[in-house]
């Protein structure tokens, strides 16, 4: 699953694809690099990011989704926590709704998904009143069994048809924060999690802060010309390692920014 952030304040790409033409071109490039799905997001979930209105979010994502759905054959997903945005995106051609809050951010999301008839990616968050609290409230990282229980509870809110179409996401970097051990445990138990809730598992470790923490603990890393900083290339390499760990454990969908790098690694890992 290739990521397209159409936000000016993305933690990963600094707003490089905030314009429609840039975002659509990036979508074409991701598919050429091997993406099987595209995930378009119009609101940043990074720590400290400003929340945006549904109207502003729709203005960002709907034109991009309309073009991608018309020009490409791969399914397009919308990354949103708002039911109103989900409805507009599906009308524009999206076939999946990726909700990092699992319906907690908008009580209307469950009914919207039931009515829309699309795949719903149910993300795991602890029970909070806002996304900002996830990054600011101190809490022990959950075990994978606790994540499974939380996701099962979110799935029970959905109607039978929506439940049958649901995928789940353990929320790397959200509930476990930047704790490397907690995030790696979720990756290692991706298959167990999927079996526990009866759904395919999506993981999104790409460029997350726990990878940076892990690399920093390991000390300076090699870079062209000598010792270098932990930059985007280093985080993308670390992302591949996390994805291979999750894939081997049974994850069905790997959500990443650098599709080409992961595709090459998976080609070798799976033997072509």
CA–CA dist 170, 200 (Å, integer): 11
Q: Catalytic one among 82, 154, 163, 255?
A: 255
Q: Catalytic one among 87, 154, 207, 208?
A: 208
Question: Among 193, 211, 210, 208, which residue's Cα sits nearest to residue 251?
Answer: 193
Active site residue 208: yes
Active site residue 207: no
CA–CA dist 47, 35 (Å, integer): 27
Burial class (CB in 10 A: 0-12, 13-18, 19+), 177: buried
Burial class (CB in 10 A: 0-12, 13-18, 19+), 217: exposed
Question: Is 97 within 8 Å of 90 (Cβ atoms)?
Answer: yes
Instruction: Catalogue the active-site residues.
Output: 208, 255
């Amino acid at each position: 699953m290739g990521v397209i952030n159409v936000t000016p304040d993305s933690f990963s790409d600094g707003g490089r694809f905030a314009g429609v033409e840039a975002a659509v071109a990036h979508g074409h490039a991701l598919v050429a690099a091997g993406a099987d799905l595209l995930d378009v997001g119009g609101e940043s979930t990074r720590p400290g990011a400003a929340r945006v209105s549904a109207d502003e979010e729709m203005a960002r994502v709907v034109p991009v989704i309309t073009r991608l759905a018309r020009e490409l054959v791969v399914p397009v997903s919308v990354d949103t926590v708002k039911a109103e945005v989900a409805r507009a995106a599906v009308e524009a051609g999206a076939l999946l709704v990726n909700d990092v809050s699992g319906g907690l951010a908008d009580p209307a999301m469950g009914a919207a998904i039931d009515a829309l008839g699309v795949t719903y990616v149910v993300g795991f968050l602890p029970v909070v009143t806002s996304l900002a609290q996830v990054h600011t409230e101190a809490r022990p990282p959950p075990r994978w069994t606790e994540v499974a229980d939380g996701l099962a509870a979110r799935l029970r809110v959905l109607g039978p048809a929506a439940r049958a179409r649901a995928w789940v996401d353990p929320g790397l970097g959200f509930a476990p924060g930047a704790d490397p051990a907690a995030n790696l445990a979720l990756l290692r138990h991706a298959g167990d999690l999927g079996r526990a809730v009866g759904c395919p598992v999506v993981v999104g470790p790409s460029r997350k802060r726990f990878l940076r923490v892990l690399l920093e603990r390991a000390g300076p890393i090699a870079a062209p010309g000598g010792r270098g900083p932990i930059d985007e290339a280093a985080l993308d390499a670390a992302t591949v390692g996390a994805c291979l760990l999750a894939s081997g454990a049974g994850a069905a969908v790997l959500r990443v920014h650098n599709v080409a790098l992961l595709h090459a690694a998976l080609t070798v890992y799976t033997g072509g």
